[in-house]
Structure 1
Amino acid sequence: MRKNKVDIITLGCSKNLVDSEQIMRQFVANGYKVEHDPHKINGEIVVVNTCGFIGDAQEESVNMILELGEAKKKGKIGKLFVMGCLSERFLKDLQKELPEVDRFYGKFNWKQLLSDIGKSYYNDLASDRIITTPRHYAYLKIAEGCDRTCSYCAIPISTGHYQSKPMEDIEKEVRLLVEQGVKEFQVIAQDLTYYGLDLYKRMALPELVERMSDIPGVEWIRLHYGYPSHFPYDLLRVMRERENVCKYMDIALQHVSNDMLKMMRRNITKEETYDLIQRMREEVPGIHLRTTLMVGHPGETEKDFEALVEFVRKVRFERMGAFAYSHEEGTYSYKHYQDEIPQETKEERLDAIMRIQERISAEINTAKTGKTFKVILDREDDDFYVGRTEYDSPEVDPEMLIYKTNQLIPGNFYDVKVEDAQAFDLYGKVLS
């Protein structure tokens, strides 16, 4: 066990990562050495930032806590603290079942951890954090919580009502990050498109993105986790007009069958969904759409699933993920529907739809062969430099594998010509 060392372990989404980066900054201000997701966990203090989204994520979080509990018993680590969505949602159960944890904190009260160990929380560092991503990009969280009432989703149980962060605070954070070398901003929230309704009584995301794009040093802005119902269409104008706003939209659609959309409480129809996608592609030529779909929600018939398959084939999403329904305690579905679809059927449907998407992705990538793209370089691997185009978000989207014909510098932009393509990777050469 290393004295004066704090190990931070982040599980789940990029929104959790931002919270971890903020608490890391506070620990550093209090004189600790901090490591994030360390190769060797041996800190005087270990903090696990948990995910409670679906069963698999919950299991991963609990298994990590149990593993660390054993390390604590053996004297390999000191204090063990748990924060985040899982403990926000299941606090009493976790306190009862995991006595090896010194203290649990929820999604929003982690500042209390610092005072509980006799340290200070520095308000003047509230916008500051230790970036754990490559220095040239960062995640920018513009809101907490969610006011949607989707049948299957437990996130509002953990995060509460939607709370937009004031534009001035966001601009301050962006400027601070630019000073630290950040060029690319992944704008995140549980629901980006709702931004501003609580604070400004209007959908203010288009204005926020414009204000961000005016800040010197902001090279790319990429938008994640929009909601399709009542989409703020002025955002498409901003995306079309502003060169540093990536032509990319991550918008979770979940399903397309009208019966399923109604049962899921999505407040949109099949026809409106098709119209939304058509308008996005007409107003922003070349836009790449990422979506997430769900299979196996209670009530999903073979006919509903066939409609979803047809949707994927017709729309041809540039980026698509899917997952099987999880019957989450406390949700509308849990209270009102039976989880009657066998897990085997869910997995079969999931595999089928992802096989279709893999073929589509391969065709879309192949069509890029011979074209040149602006690429930001993330890292150097043994055989390639690895970067991304404006259409690719870190971790989830295809990468550009660049042949080592030149000496390149991570964090810089390069013009790269695509020479070969696979379903989930492009291969290219830097134009000299």
Structure 2
Amino acid sequence: MKKRPVIHLTSLGCAKNLIDSERLLARLARAGAIVGAPPEEADVLIVNTCGFIAPAKQESVETILELARYKEADPSKRLIVMGCLAQRYGPELREGIPEADAVFGLNQDDAIVAACGLRPVLETGRLLLTPPHTAYLKISEGCSNGCTYCTIPLIRGPYRSRPPEEIVREAQELATSGVKELVVIAQDTTLYGTDLPGNVRIHDLLARLAEIAGIRWLRLLYTHPAHFPSGLIAAYRTIPKLVPYVDLPLQHLDDDILRRMGRRMTQATALELVARLRASVPGIAIRTTFIVGFPGETRAQFNELLRLVRELRFEHLGVFPYSPEEGTPAALMPDQVSARAKSRRVRDLMLAQQEIVFARNKARIGERVEVLIDARLDEKTWVGRTARQAPDVDPVTYVLGDGLRTGEFVEAEIVGAEGYDLIARPLAEIRRE
């Protein structure tokens, strides 16, 4: 009888890449592989790479070389490289990393299964790498926005919405498997449906997903402020399962920089959208990201961004130093900002956000919240999230209590904070005292 190959897979990059890894693992398992092994026990080592910006590319290469050491210790192991970095730099990886037995770009699962010594099988859903009660749901592929700093269209192609029936069917399968929170993702979720026949838009899709039994929370990430539909704002009021949380990457708030970024928006439209969201959806948590050190960004332009961040007081904020990427218009722009200046601006913006979050957390002590338990930390400490905290990218809520379960929704009271994270206790325990 032929030995079943044992597979180790390291998935890097964003949640969209994670879904690709989950689909591949499910297909490998269906084909007969044993998946989920540590690298020292595996016959096949797979790296699903990220190629978005320079630090991600560096992490991917370092991970490949790290796994190559296991192959060096045991030459019978096979090393397979896949994903976005492989899609864009396949020939360079084959030449520069001879330890890799095979390099595959995107949408080559059948070839990867065959490279593992197995017969390809039909697509078989996903093998979740998230906690079993939470799953990402990808509603489209690629991007057509044309931001001048971004390589996604070069790697994943133009925007292509998935048919709503296909998405709903996948969501139903996830709910049947025990998923209670769906995190809806794409390169741009607000563009969903604009390339499909009919008039389906993101808020229509969310309404259909909300009808699925077993789903308790719907969470929307990767919206775009330039074409945020008014119907989506209304959906936050009319779809109870849609949590009051939105991921709204603004990237900058200076009109000249936004124009050169290709963001198709202005400071005024961004501020108006933030105000409309907060007025229409009381208590909404807005997560945003900014790029500092974009070519030509002056100290005055950065200081204005810093002032607005302090004024707008976002619930969650991430900051990235601009990374010049090969093949993008921004990489050829004059007045590139020094690495030192970019580092200082990242630090200054994050320090401002830290003050905002710490003050906000202190003000929330005594507030009652619903917490979804993700994991157990120790005997009496659990890690969870409120509706205002997304998985992986946001701080967490530590719940101090006995007898809780992962995947459980717990009514709790915030009793403290530790840095960016909240500390809560179950209301049931507080009432017993």
TM range (shorter): over 0.9
**What's 2:188 paired with?**
191
Mapping of residues 84-233 of structure 1, within 5 Å? 84-123=83-122, 125=124, 128-200=125-197, 202=199, 204-233=201-230
Letter matched to residue 216 of structure 2: E
**What's 2:334 paired with?**
338
How many residue pairs match? The answer is 425
Q: Distance in 1 between matches of 2:55 and 2:199?
A: 36
Judged with a 3 Å threshold, the aligned counterparts in structure 2 of structure 1 residues 40 and 93 are, in CA distance, closer, same or farther, namely closer
Whether 1:12 and 2:13 are equivalent positions in the alignment is yes
Whether 1:43 and 2:39 are equivalent positions in the alignment is no
Task: Tell me the alpha carbon deviations over residues 157-184 of structure 1, each in whole angstroms, 9 at most, x when there is no partner.
Answer: 1110111111111111111111111000
Whether 1:280 and 2:277 are equivalent positions in the alignment is yes
Judged with a 3 Å threshold, the aligned counterparts in structure 2 of structure 1 residues 349 and 203 are, in CA distance, closer, same or farther, namely farther
**What's 1:373 paired with?**
369
Does the aligned pair in 2 maintain the 1:366–1:422 contact within 8 Å?
no
The 3-state SS of whatever aligns with 1:208 is helix
The offset of 1:115, in angstroms, is 3.4
Q: CA RMSD in A?
A: 1.6
Whether 1:73 and 2:72 are equivalent positions in the alignment is yes
Whether 1:251 and 2:248 are equivalent positions in the alignment is yes
**What's 2:27 paired with?**
26
Q: Distance in 2 between matches of 1:41 and 1:200?
A: 49
The offset of 1:314, in angstroms, is 1.1
**What's 1:263 paired with?**
260
**What's 1:357 paired with?**
353
The 3-state SS of whatever aligns with 2:227 is coil
Structure 1 runs not aligned, ≥5 long: none
Task: Tell me the alpha carbon deviations over residues 247-296 of structure 1, each in whole angstroms, 9 at most, x when there is no partner.
Answer: 10001110000111011111000111100100111111111000010100
The offset of 1:117, in angstroms, is 4.5
Among 330, 339, 344, which residue is 1:348 paired with? 344
Q: Distance in 2 between matches of 1:192 and 1:41?
A: 39
The 3-state SS of whatever aligns with 1:199 is coil
Q: Distance in 2 between matches of 1:117 and 1:408?
A: 40
Among 384, 387, 392, which residue is 2:381 paired with? 384
Q: Distance in 2 between matches of 1:317 and 1:396?
A: 14
Whether 1:417 and 2:389 are equivalent positions in the alignment is no
Whether 1:83 and 2:79 are equivalent positions in the alignment is no
Does the aligned pair in 2 maintain the 1:402–1:430 contact within 8 Å?
yes
The offset of 1:71, in angstroms, is 2.2
Structure 2 runs not aligned, ≥5 long: 429-433
Judged with a 3 Å threshold, the aligned counterparts in structure 2 of structure 1 residues 148 and 56 are, in CA distance, closer, same or farther, namely same
Q: Distance in 2 between matches of 1:355 and 1:77?
A: 49
Does the aligned pair in 2 maintain the 1:203–1:232 contact within 8 Å?
no
The offset of 1:39, in angstroms, is 4.4
The offset of 1:339, in angstroms, is 6.0
Q: Distance in 1 between matches of 2:237 and 2:187?
A: 24
TM-score, scaled relative to structure 2: 0.95
Does the aligned pair in 2 maintain the 1:42–1:76 contact within 8 Å?
no
Q: Sequence identity, in percent?
A: 38
Letter matched to residue 340 of structure 2: E
Does the aligned pair in 2 maintain the 1:359–1:423 contact within 8 Å?
no
Q: Which moved more, 1:94-103 or 1:184-193?
A: 94-103
Q: Distance in 1 between matches of 2:181 and 2:325?
A: 35
Q: Which moved more, 1:12-21 or 1:358-367?
A: 358-367
Letter matched to residue 27 of structure 1: L
**What's 1:62 paired with?**
61
Does the aligned pair in 1 maintain the 2:27–2:122 contact within 8 Å?
no
